[in-house]
């Protein structure tokens, strides 16, 4: 299928041991002793994007960038957007305003130094900006970012701001927030922007949702996934709860094939370009 609308494809560049749900099993003080798998997984993603002539935004952790500087440079050299996922993958809602501001400033400096270009986009780990920490958007603007993609307008046990606008909007401080895509159905917002839902549900559901947003709302979608979701051989954390293990490992072996279908069914670009004239 050829679609006239270009959607935004985004990748949250973090390793499997940095996922918030697995945090109890991987203390930050021990991260340097855990073998990283992120570089090989991002290289697979870059090859896929090149195969389909697609561009994307890579929301990258500063911690990862410092340890894999060549990876950040290869992302930029391939024509993709390098954006910020913060430095240490700490939830915005778990930090003080000063600590949060310091984290996102550091990440921006690290990434800009490596890619040699302004870093204008930011995404909070675990979509951790909501009604309880509206100050975070002021910090993002103060740090020099132009847009954020940190709000998910859904109900979820770990994140979500269901009353937020579904499409990009400008805040009073000038920052543009680009919420992750949802579909409005039966009086509520349903997740349509990727992540675990993309692995859990049949591919046809994601395709229908994006088509609905493109056609019914006449708007581009913003979709996300993680490099570890293409890595079924990653180490299994058997000490995690059954719920966490299910959410993290379900259908990892299907992700790459589904991404191939997604890349072929829709047109994909960088978030900074897709939403350049938003709000």
- Tens digits of residue pLDDT in 3-40: 579 999 999 999 999 999 999 999 999 999 999 999 99
Contact between 46 and 71 (Cβ < 8 Å): no
User: What ranges make up the beta strands (E) of the chain?
Assistant: 6-13, 57-60, 81-84, 121-122, 147-148, 169-170, 176-177, 182-185, 188-191, 222-225, 267-269
Higher pLDDT, 213 or 1: 213
pLDDT-above-70 percentage for the chain: 97
CB contact at 8 A, 9 and 57? yes
**For 64, what's the count of Cα atoms within 13 Å in the CB-facing half-sphere?**
28
pLDDT tops 90 at residue 233: yes
CA distances 183 to 36, 78, 153, 221, Å, are 35, 32, 10, 10
pLDDT of 43 above 50: yes
pLDDT per residue over 236-250, tens digit each? 999 999 999 999 999
pLDDT at 174: 96
Crossing angle (nearest 10°) for helices 97-115 and 69-77:
70
| Rounded Cα distance, 104 and 161, in Å | 21
Q: What is the pLDDT of residue 186?
A: 83
CATH: 3.20.20.370, 3.30.413.10, 1.20.1560.10, 3.40.50.300. Which one for 6-274? 3.20.20.370
Q: Which residues pair with 10 in a beta bridge?
A: 57, 224
What radius of gyration do the chain's Cα atoms show?
A: 17
Q: Looking at the predicted structure, is the pLDDT value of residue 158 above 80? A: no
The pLDDT of 93-111, averaged and rounded, is 97
Go through 129-143 and write b for each residue having 16 or more CB atoms within 10 A of its CB, e for each that does not. Answer: bbeebeebbebbbeb
Quick one: pLDDT at residue 161?
A: 83
Residue 279 has pLDDT above 80, yes or no: no
pLDDT value of residue 1: 46
Instruction: List Cα–Cα distances, 32 to 85, 88, 136, 154, 189, in angstroms.
Output: 19, 12, 28, 34, 39
Instruction: Give the pLDDT confidence score for residue 128 in this predicted structure.
Output: 94
108, pLDDT greater than 80 = yes
pTM of the model: 0.95
* Closest C-alpha to 225, from 42, 76, 22, 69: 42
Average pLDDT of 196-219?
95
For range 56-83, the mean pLDDT? 98
């Amino acid at each position: 299928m050829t679609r006239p609308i270009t959607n935004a494809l985004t990748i949250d560049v973090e390793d499997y041991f940095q996922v918030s749900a697995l945090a109890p099993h991987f203390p930050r003080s021990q991260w340097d002793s855990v073998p990283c798998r992120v570089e090989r997984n991002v290289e697979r993603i870059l090859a896929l994007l090149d195969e389909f002539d697609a561009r994307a935004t890579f929301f990258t952790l500063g911690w990862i960038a410092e340890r894999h500087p060549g990876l950040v440079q290869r992302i930029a050299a391939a024509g993709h957007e390098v954006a910020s996922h913060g430095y240490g993958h700490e939830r915005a809602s778990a930090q003080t305003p000063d600590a949060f501001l310091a984290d996102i400033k550091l990440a921006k400096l690290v990434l800009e130094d490596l890619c040699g270009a302004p870093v204008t986009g930011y995404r909070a780990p675990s979509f951790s900006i909501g009604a309880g920490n509206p100050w975070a958007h002021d910090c993002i603007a103060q740090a020099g970012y132009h847009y954020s993609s940190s709000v998910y307008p859904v109900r979820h046990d770990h994140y979500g701001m269901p009353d937020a606008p579904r499409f990009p909007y400008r805040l009073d401080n000038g920052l543009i927030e680009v919420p992750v895509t949802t579909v409005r159905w039966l009086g509520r917002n349903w997740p349509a922007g990727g992540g675990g839902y993309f692995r859990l549900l049949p591919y046809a559901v994601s395709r229908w949702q994006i088509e609905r947003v493109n056609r019914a709302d006449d708007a581009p979608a913003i979709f996300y996934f993680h490099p570890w979701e293409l890595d079924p051989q990653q180490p299994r954390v058997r000490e995690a709860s059954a719920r966490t293990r299910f959410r993290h490992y379900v259908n990892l072996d299907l992700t790459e094939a589904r991404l191939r279908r997604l890349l072929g069914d829709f047109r994909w670009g960088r978030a900074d370009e897709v939403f350049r004239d938003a709000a």
